Structure 1
Amino acid sequence: MKPRTVVLAGASGFIGRYFRERFVEEGWQVRTVGRGASADAQWNDDGAITTALDGAELLVNLAGRSVNCRYNVRNRREIMDSRVLTTRELGRAVSACEDPPRTWINSSTGTIYRHAEDRPQSEDSGELGSGFSVDVARAWEDELDAAVVPATRKVPLRIAIVLGPGGGVMGPFRNLARLGLGGYMGPGTQKFSWIHVEDLFRVVLFAHAHGELTGPLNAASPYPVDNRELMSLVRQSMRVPFGIPTPSWLLEAGAVLIRTQTELVLKSRWVEPRKLLDAGFAFEYPCLTGALNHIANPTRSLT
């Protein structure tokens, strides 16, 4: 039987590498679009991208420069372009296919919602926020919406913070805990919406298999935690007994020194996966304790 084919765009990062390995394990043929020499198609080569996409069943776009940086003029432009221009390029390529992918899942971000400590933000009732990160998310989704690909179902995936062994945001948190600085950050009441990378992979397969899922789709665990609980669980997973809290003013100063933004830890992200839950999706890692235990002991089976 001919293997199913998926095209991964932006497959060189933490999520992309994990997805590539898991798709192969599941029996898929994987083609890639990227900047490295090993990619099947290079960015800025519409013909090669169209060839890679033609006959594929699924397109998953993960391309995007890291937001873990200071938002100066140059970085802002690179963050925006790395999302919008790659999505535009994929739209041109898909529209040129004789046999286009049935589903196009395009990364977006749960950061598109406002700072929320009062209630969860679902796809239908969530309120969009403001600021640079939200502007990027809006432009990203608008570009996907503008792609004229009538034979392909387009799904913007609003992804929460992704956790997993060997990558994601847990490294810095674990390092702070090792140094005794693993206390809560800022007020500690800000929500932390997250998803284990294995569940994110399973969400992609689920969304592809369920043609009734349209429009934005929130990819987040149904059980977010606040920052106090997050840091407590990080310490527990590492068997570190205490951690010194970090006030907002110190975070601001430290962010300048390490060239990042405090938004990454101070914004309250409360993303509710309402469409997934209503469609019957079952999370492998619904609770943060299990996810962190797996990250701390990654040799254990995922099942």
Structure 2
Amino acid sequence: MSSIVIAGAGGFIGRHLVRAFEADGFTVRTIGRGRDADARWGSDLTSVLEGSEALINLAGRSVSCRYTKRTADEILRSRTETTKDLGASLAKCSNPPAVWLNSSTGTIYRDARDRPQDEVEGELGSGFSVAVARAWEQELYAAPTPIRKVALRTAITLGTGGGALSPLINLARIGFGGTQGDGDQIVSWIHIDDIYGAIRHLIDHDIAGPVNLASPHAVPNRELMAAVRTHFGSPLGLGDSARPRLGIPLGARMLGFGGRVIRTEPELVLKSRWVDPGVLRGTGYAFRFPDLDAALADIAAHTPRGLLPVQLG
């Protein structure tokens, strides 16, 4: 039976991957900080890596927080140091996994409203989040092991039971699910089932380098929020600029206030992330949920009523 190693398996995506791989008959070994992990950071990692089919590294502090010096340092170190540790351990393996898939982020690209950014012609941006992503990928490619390496440039992941969607559902359910900023910023997203499907595709195909994990159909923020209201809350929300009598748009100033309340950065919703999955499309991956409406309908069918718990960084 094939085994998969998942580092950072305690997060929203990691928990889903563990369940999905196990349901498909794989043995899953985990690396983390909890007592239930098969190996813990700071200890010998080679024992869980030896003989596995693939390593998937998702480790990294949540970016859903205010960017102070302390949290910024933690965000960077939690990504680069764990990646460096994995590289050193893989170099010691006599039978390492065939492929190492390491998290990155779709926010590595510039703020784009003119055209989508793919892995070949996409233009990298600037700022703190981009610097973190660059350092993260550099650590992956610099690792002293000759195995195939893939940087997973992941878009906003939508699914049941956590992640980026829960705060938006809560906003919709209390009547604040309107557009954010001018509403024209592009939102690249992916259903969590396609995270798993894409990773299986990448394991099975000889693909290396950066890969954008994103639906082929990104949407403007106003379209995203309208769909969230339709599927999860009131069909009308404060900030719906198409209906000004219902409230003002949630501009940068109001988002700044809201960010202080929920301890997150307005950049996470104001930046236009238009990420195109060129590699996945070009290698024949068939998305299970390419369209937003079907993705949210599936998630809504498994989402409880009322306000949802939100894990803040």
Instruction: Tell me the TM-score normalised to structure 1 length.
Output: 0.95
Give the whole-Å Cα distance in 2 for the aligned partners of 1:29 and 1:193: 32
Give the corresponding residue for 1:191: 186
Matches within 5 A, 1:99-110: 99-110=95-106
Contact 1:113 1:127 in 2 (8 A): yes
Q: Matched residues in 2 for 1:128 and 1:176: separation?
A: 31
For residues 139 and 77 of structure 1, the distance between their equivalents in structure 2, rounded to whole angstroms, comes to: 12
Instruction: In structure 1, list runs of 5 or more residues that go unmatched.
Output: none
Aligned residue number for residue 15 of structure 2: 17
1:163 deviates by 0.7
AA aligned opposite 2:35:
A
- Greater than 6 Å deviation, 4+ residue runs: none
The alpha-carbon deviation at position 179 of structure 1 amounts to: 1.1
Q: Alignment identity in percent?
A: 53
Shift of 1:239: 5.2
1:60-75 matches, within 5 Å, as 60-75=56-71
Partner of 2:310: none
Q: Is the 8 A contact 1:108 1:157 kept in 2?
A: yes
**Counterpart amino acid of 1:188?**
G
Verify: 1:271 aligned to 2:275, yes or no. yes
How many pairs align? 293
Distance 1:239-1:80 versus aligned 2 partners, 3 A rule:
closer
Correspondence for 1:167: 162
Match of 2:40 in 1: 42
- 2:253 maps to which of 220, 224, 249: 249
Q: Which of 27, 30, 33 is the matching residue for 2:31?
A: 33
- Between stretches 103-112 and 287-296, larger displacement belongs to 287-296
Kindly indicate whether residue 88 of structure 2 is the aligned counterpart of residue 84 of structure 1.
no
Q: Distance in 2 between matches of 1:267 and 1:103?
A: 32
Match of 2:214 among 210, 214, 220: 220
Match of 2:287 in 1: 283
Matched, 1:294 2:288: no
Deviation (angstroms), 1:257: 2.8
Question: Matched residue of 1:156: which SS?
Answer: strand
Deviation at 1:247, TM superposition (A): 1.6
CA contact (8 A) 1:121 1:270 kept: yes
CA-to-partner distance for each residue in 1:67-114, whole Å, 9 max, x for gaps? Answer: 000110000010001100000000011000010000000000000000
Deviation of 1:276 after TM superposition, in Å, equals 0.6
> Any idea what the Cα deviations from partners look like across 1:205-242, whole Å, max 9, x if unmatched?
1001111x221000000001000000000011125221
**Matched letter for residue 11 of structure 1:** A
Q: Is the 8 A contact 2:159 2:191 kept in 1?
A: yes
CA distance in structure 1 between the partners assigned to 2:278 and 2:302 by the alignment: 29
Q: Match for 1:176: what amino acid?
A: L
Alpha-carbon distance in structure 2 between the residues aligned to 1:106 and 1:217:
10
1:167-200: CA deviations, max 9, x gaps?
1111111111111111100100000001111100
2:245 alignment partner in structure 1 = none
Q: Distance in 2 between matches of 1:290 and 1:167?
A: 18
Q: Distance in 1 between matches of 2:299 and 2:271?
A: 24
Match of 2:132 among 132, 136, 148: 136
The match for 1:259 is 263
Paired position in structure 2 for 1:55: 51
Cα distance in structure 2, aligned partners of 1:260 and 1:21: 29
Does the aligned pair in 1 maintain the 2:83–2:136 contact within 8 Å? yes
